[in-house]
Amino acid sequence: MKLLPELRAITSFGDGGFRFGDHSHRGHLLVLPSGMRAWDGEDFSLLLAEKSEIDFFVLGTGVRLARLAPSLAQLLGAVQADAMTTSAAIHSYNYMLAEGRRVAAALIAVP
**pLDDT (tens digit per residue) in 4-53:** 788 899 999 999 999 998 899 999 999 999 999 999 999 999 999 999 99
Give residue 23's pLDDT. Answer: 92
Contact 12, 2 (CB under 8 A): no
User: For all residues of the chain together, what is the average pLDDT?
Assistant: 95
Give the structural domain span for 64.
12-107
In the chain, how many domains are there? Answer: 1
Read off the CATH number of the domain in which 40 is found: 3.40.1230.10
What is the Cα–Cα distance from 19 to 77, expressed in whole angstroms? Answer: 31
